[in-house]
Chains A and B, each alone.
Chain A
Amino acid sequence: MIKHLRSAADLDAATATLILDTAGEMAALAGREVKKLPTLRGRTVVNLFYEDSTRTRISFEAAAKRLSADVINFSAKGSSVSKGESLKDTALTLQAMGADAVVIRHPASGAPHRLAAWVDGSVVNAGDGTHEHPTQALLDAYTMRSRLGRLDGLRVAIVGDVLHSRVARSNVLLLTTLGAQVTLVGPPTLIPVDIAAALSPQTKVSYDLDSVLPDMDVVMMLRVQTERMQDSYFPSSREYSRRYGLDLARMRKLPEHAIVMHPGPMNRGMEITPEVADSSRSTIVEQVANGVSARMAVLYLLLGGKA
């Protein structure tokens, strides 16, 4: 088993599949009355969050607690970090406290890579800057597999602000590893340069959402921040919605079986209309539930549990 999960590229197909299978077993546990496993009793998992992200933090917290680990939440606000402590000094502190795993959310890309050099425990990337969010990709893949029965050969469109999206990067890497075909869709200003060469040569790029939809099994809408407008990535939120938003009319262009995903938090009315978000094709709430199972699987396997 790998030691750290810093990038979805850390996972080969066998390891990724093992995590998804393990997540399935963890999900089965959620249906029981007692949801806890004793597996990580006596182990310490630190949630080191430099960005506000209640949903990701509580998902990791629930995952660690269901595995009976001791959980320490260390958030940048109200800690020594706001007094200017360096990441290295924080890492050495966590090291001294005997953290077996550090789950890190950080605004700077690559912070988990730096952290891994300073702690002995496992490092799990819970989102770093505009780089990656590998457990989100795992829970997304798990959700797709649960709904559609497979990943190999699946056609997935990821739509929106790919440039600034850590979710998109991790999904492209993981889905490609697992045999899916990814098409990135968005205005050219929000598609990063050389994306196929950077992540996987099979990745396709389109600027036309309407032409892509009829061929998709999955369409994943990314959150688009309205502030991008100030930087001229697009002229206005109305124009963005018209060209790249998923509304009912567009949803009808999808094949009958296709699902609609969103990593949250949504901008209802911007990249997705409420009718679509709340439709039966939407897996948005399921994704949240699956997040706990996927993160349980990651912690369980990284910390030496056996499948």
Chain B
Amino acid sequence: MTSYLLRGVSVLGAASQDLALVDGRISDKLPADAEIIDAAGLVALPGLVDLHTHLREPGREDAETVETGSRSAALGGYTAVFAMANTSPVADTAGVVEQVWRLGREAGLVDVQPIGAVTVGLAGKQLAELGAMASSAANVRIFSDDGHCVADPRLMRRALEYVKAFDGIIAQHAEEPRLTEGAQMHEGEVSTRLGLTGWPAVAEEAIIARDVLLAEHVGSRLHVCHVSTAGSVEVLRQAKARGVRVTAEVTPHHLLLTDELAASYDPVYKVNPPLRTASDVEALRAALVEGVIDIVATDHAPHATEDKECEWAYARPGMVGLETALPVVLSVLGDRWDLIAERMSRTPARIAGLTGHGTDLNVGDPANLTLVDPSARRVVDPSELASRSRNTPYAGTTLPGRIVATFLRGEPTVLDGKAVK
């Protein structure tokens, strides 16, 4: 195994130093044959961990595969991603989660951790075999019907309770389905002008409010996916103040983009939950800094061209995000490296119970890390993405920061900004 010396690197923005990666770990010794990487001006972060990725395999390999998604993740500075369960077939059995997990191992670019479905077929009727997925080789701990809300309150209560047996966590896509029938975009001034059916903020907030009460009642852990409204932030703030074991994520796009973009009717801006207003964006940013929102998760949602090159109402919701997440967060938070590491690596790893990721890059820690050039600026070009899909909302946007290298257990997955394999 090749050893590496990262010369002159700044760990989390600290004074520059040399960092040796030996036998998959951060080391204070350096073999003479170590490969030297000039890391002057580069910042080392613990490898990013994404709790919310759609890899589309099995089922929609035309949009993404575990391999292409893994490459996209590595190029974005990630060393672990959690693959959502809404594949075809749905990841609701030990067999499917093990298949995804095995495909991730074969790709070998990031650790792919499958998320199991909460209910059979994501249908919201009956619990999937959560224990079997937890006991499988994939060792599933996060369960989610993402894309669908576990709307039935009794079923949600049971799911929250049941996973306590193996320290699981339910990640809820908070969307009251009756309040969002036919919904196309955020309900407000812009939806009224565009004549698109509104997705009201209350449809998210009502479910989060219910779920934090349920989690409190049964003493379980709840994770809230892609929080998108200022009102949700307030519900979470109150729940956390009461000691409810709830964590929450926000996507990069909800930190940057607003519903005004829908005015083009270009479905590249169609996403679920929808882009909200500027005041929501402001509240989400503040909540992320404050810690009311614990982490950034991409909700990377690749879609084939034909599913986006159509009328708004007929397009699938979702945006790719793995390769632009860190640049977007940098543009929002600035170079607060420790905060970025907390929100994009340490905390997501902790929520998921994922060991070996989100460490502080001390001697002896697994060498899962990424090197960022904070001074670089890049114009996003969809054709350059490693994802199989092109549905980025940032085409032509200049974003700060460039991911120069990523290491997974001491092996480079990205060097000079290019995927190694």
Given contacts A110-B194, A113-B265, A131-B194, contact A194 B189 (CB under 8 A): yes
Question: Closest residue of chain B to A164, judged by CB?
Answer: B195
Bitwise, B243-265 to A at CB < 8 A (1) or not (0) is 00000000000000000000011
Q: How far is the CB of A90 from chain B (nearest CB, A)?
A: 11
The answer to whether B194 touches A195, judged by C-beta atoms less than 8 angstroms apart, is no
CB <8 Å contact, B188 and A110: no
A81 at the interface (CB under 8 A from B): no
Q: Does B310 contact A (CB under 8 A)?
A: yes
B401 within 8 A of A: no
A residues contacting the other copy or chain, number (CB 8 A): 25
| A199-B192 contact in complex given A193-B187, A193-B198, C-beta closer than 8 Å | yes
Residues of chain A within 8 A of B309, CB atoms compared: 86, 88
Instruction: Report the separation of the CA atoms of residues A129 and B309 in the bound assembly, to the nearest whole angstrom.
Output: 18
Q: Mark A135-170, 1 if CB is under 8 A from B, else 0.
A: 000000000000000000000000000000010010
A110 & B189 in contact (Cβ 8 Å cutoff): no
With known contacts A129-B195, A130-B195, A111–B189 Cβ distance under 8 A: no
Interface-central residue, B184, B188, B198, B312, by most chain A CB under 10 Å: B312
Q: Determine if A197 and B189 form an interchain contact, defined as CB atoms under 8 angstroms apart.
A: yes
Q: Does A217 have its Cβ within 8 Å of any Cβ on chain B?
A: no
Q: Is the CB of B265 within 8 A of A114?
A: yes
Contacts of B306 in A (CB 8 A): 86
Task: Give the chain A neighbours of B187 by CB distance below 8 A.
Answer: 193
Residues of B within 8 A of A129 (CB): 195-196, 313
Whose C-beta in chain A lies nearest to the C-beta of B311? A108
Give complex CA distance A128, B193 in Å: 13
Structural contact, B264 and A113, CB atoms closer than 8 A: yes
Q: How far is the CA of A93 from the CA of B313 in the complex (A)?
A: 22
B195 touches A169 (CB 8 A): yes
Docked CA distance A37–B196 (Å):
39
Residues of A within 8 A of B192 (CB): 192-195, 198-199
Bound-complex Cα distance A197 to B191 (A): 11
**Nearest CB on A from B192, distance (A):** 4
Report how far A130 CA is from B195 CA in the complex, Å: 5
**Interface membership of chain B positions 294-322, coded 1 if the CB is closer than 8 angstroms to chain A and 0 otherwise:** 00000000000010011111100000000
Cβ of B190 within 8 Å of any chain A Cβ, yes or no, is yes
Q: Are B311 and A106 in contact (CB under 8 A)?
A: yes
**How many residues belonging to B are interface residues under a CB distance threshold of 8 Å?**
23
Cβ contacts under 8 Å, A107 to chain B:
313
In whole angstroms, how far apart are the Cα atoms of A130 and B265 in the complex? 13
* Contact among A86, A114, A166 for B195, CB-based, below 8 A: A166
Checking B197, B198, B265 against A110 with a beta-carbon cut-off of 8 angstroms, the contacting residue is B265
Residues in chain B near residue A108, CB distance under 8 A: 311-314
Within 8 A of A (CB), among B189-222: 189-198
Residues of B within 8 A of A106 (CB): 311
- Chain B contacts of A199 at CB under 8 A? 192-193
C-alpha gap A194/B309 in the complex (Å)? 30
> Is A87 on the interface with B (CB-CB < 8 A)?
yes
Identify which of A87, A128, A131 contacts B310 (C-beta below 8 A). A87
> CA of A132 to CA of B192 in the docked complex: distance in angstroms?
11
A109 at the interface (CB under 8 A from B): yes
Q: CB-nearest residue of chain A relative to B313?
A: A108
Q: Kindly list chain A residues whose C-beta atoms are within 8 Å of the C-beta of B193.
A: 169, 198-199
Q: Are B195 and A131 in contact (CB under 8 A)?
A: yes
- Give chain A nearest CB distance to B178 CB in angstroms: 10
Beta-carbon contact of B189 and A193 below 8 Å: yes
Task: Kindly state the separation between the CA atoms of A130 and B189 in the bound complex, as whole angstroms.
Answer: 14
Contact A198 B190 (CB under 8 A): yes
Q: Could you list 24 examples of A-B contacts with CB < 8 Å?
A: A86-B306, A87-B310, A87-B311, A88-B309, A88-B310, A106-B311, A109-B195, A110-B195, A110-B265, A110-B311, A110-B312, A114-B265, A114-B310, A129-B196, A130-B196, A131-B194, A131-B195, A132-B195, A192-B192, A193-B189, A193-B198, A194-B188, A198-B192, A199-B192
Which residues of chain B have a CB within 8 Å of any CB of chain A? 184, 187-198, 264-266, 306, 309-314
Of all A-B residue pairs in the complex, the 8 with the closest CB atoms, nearest first, are A131-B195, A110-B265, A108-B311, A198-B192, A194-B189, A198-B193, A192-B192, A130-B195
Extra pairs beyond A87-B311, A88-B309 (11, CB < 8 Å): A106-B311, A107-B313, A109-B194, A109-B195, A109-B265, A111-B265, A130-B195, A130-B196, A131-B196, A166-B195, A194-B189
